[in-house]
């Protein structure tokens, strides 16, 4: 946004130089200077505007591609449910008014949580996404964790103003996309506070409940896929046995 103010200032300043030049002797020479100034001004406009647009839509293209695969009203390919939180909605979640929560998210512009279909956003696809983020978009690994039941990878870029978390557990996968700065000290204090208390806060409870439904859907989907695989395997076996029977050389008995 600062670039836009600079742009306006330059826009006012350059024509005023040009007009100043026309009043003095040697106006032709000054006109030439003003012409150059105008071209320079146009160049600056183009450069700064392109800078402004890329800054406003400066989020990861890999993430945008991933989101394109989310056909909410059709059969979604990878994403099961998308949750978008903006500063106002993030403050709303904090019904119990935990001060560390508000401080942690103060500079966050948008937090998107994508609940993925585990069978489609599998380990291979996740590795592909991580490799693309690192190779094409300068994302670096901030932290990773792996245990028997779950794992996560946290990647970020531009001094942490954009971060992506890929989380898996035995039933569900999440991709969390954060735009803006998260205050990690406050976040760690918040997690310490939450650990000390039984009460997570009504807003967080609601969110966890909503995500629990995704987990149930993912479990149902996994059962559906497993059942479908079983049916397909049985069908294939039946076809193979029919084909084998048909191809079998007839036994000629005398």
Partner 1 sequence: MKKLTIFVVMVLLSITTYAQKNAVSKYFSQYQRDTSFTKVSVTNKMFSLFTEIETDDESEQEILAAMAKLKGVKALFTDDAKKANLLDRYYDAVSTIENDGSFEELMTVEDRRENVAFLIREDDGGVIRELLMILGGPDNFMVMSVFGEIDLASIGKISKALKIKGMEQFEKIAE
Binding residues vs partner 1 (CB under 8 A): 140-148, 154, 156, 159-160, 181, 183-185, 188-189, 191-193, 195-196
Contacts of 162 (CB under 8 A, 6+ apart): 58, 59, 60, 156, 177, 178, 179
Nearer to partner 1, 79 or 155 (CB): 155
The nearest distance, CB 196 to partner 1, in angstroms, is 7
Helix (H) or strand (E) holding 123: helix 123-136
CA dihedral 203, 209, 213, 216 (to 10 degrees): 150
The nearest distance, CB 193 to partner 1, in angstroms, is 8
Nearer to partner 1, 33 or 204 (CB): 204
Nearer to partner 1, 57 or 159 (CB): 159
Alpha helices of 153-201 — where are they, by DSSP H?
A: 184-196
The nearest distance, CB 141 to partner 1, in angstroms, is 6
173-181/107-116 β-pairing: antiparallel
Q: Phi-psi category of 37—alpha, beta or left, where left has phi over 0 and alpha has psi -120 to 50? A: alpha
Give the start-end residues of each E strand in 35-161: 79-85, 107-116, 140-146, 151-157
The nearest distance, CB 103 to partner 1, in angstroms, is 9
The nearest distance, CB 111 to partner 1, in angstroms, is 17
Nearer to partner 1, 62 or 163 (CB): 163
The pair of structure tokens assigned to 172 is 């569900």
Nearer to partner 1, 144 or 226 (CB): 144
The nearest distance, CB 134 to partner 1, in angstroms, is 12
Nearer to partner 1, 83 or 152 (CB): 152
> What is the spatial distance between Cα 30 and Cα 12, in angstroms, rounded to a whole number?
18
Write the CA distances from 208 to 165, 201, 250, integer angstroms: 17, 11, 65
Q: How many alpha carbons fall within 13 Å on the CB side of residue 94?
A: 18
The nearest distance, CB 24 to partner 1, in angstroms, is 49
Nearer to partner 1, 189 or 222 (CB): 189
């Amino acid at each position: 946004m600062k670039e836009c103010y600079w742009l306006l200032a330059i826009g006012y300043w350059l024509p005023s130089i040009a007009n100043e030049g026309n009043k003095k002797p040697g106006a032709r020479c000054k006109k030439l200077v003003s012409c150059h100034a105008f071209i320079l001004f146009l160049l600056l406009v183009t450069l700064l505007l392109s800078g402004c647009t890329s800054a406003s839509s400066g989020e990861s293209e890999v993430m945008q591609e991933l989101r394109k695969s989310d056909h909410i009203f059709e059969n979604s390919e990878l994403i099961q449910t998308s949750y978008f939180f903006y500063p106002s909605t993030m403050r709303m979640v904090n019904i119990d008014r935990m001060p560390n929560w508000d401080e942690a998210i103060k500079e966050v512009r948008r937090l998107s949580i994508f609940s993925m279909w585990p069978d489609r956003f599998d380990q291979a696809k996740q590795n592909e996404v991580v490799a693309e983020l690192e190779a094409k978009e300068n994302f670096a690994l901030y932290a990773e964790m792996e245990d028997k039941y779950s794992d996560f990878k946290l990647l970020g870029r531009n001094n942490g103003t954009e971060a992506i978390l890929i989380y898996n557990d035995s039933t569900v996968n999440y991709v969390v996309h954060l735009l803006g700065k998260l205050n990690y000290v406050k976040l760690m204090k918040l997690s310490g506070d939450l650990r000390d208390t039984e009460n997570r806060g009504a807003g967080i409870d609601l969110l966890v409940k909503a995500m629990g439904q995704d987990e149930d859907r993912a479990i149902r989907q996994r059962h559906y896929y497993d059942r479908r695989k079983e049916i397909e395997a049985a069908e294939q076996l039946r076809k193979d046995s029919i084909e084998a029977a048909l191809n079998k050389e007839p036994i000629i008995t005398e």
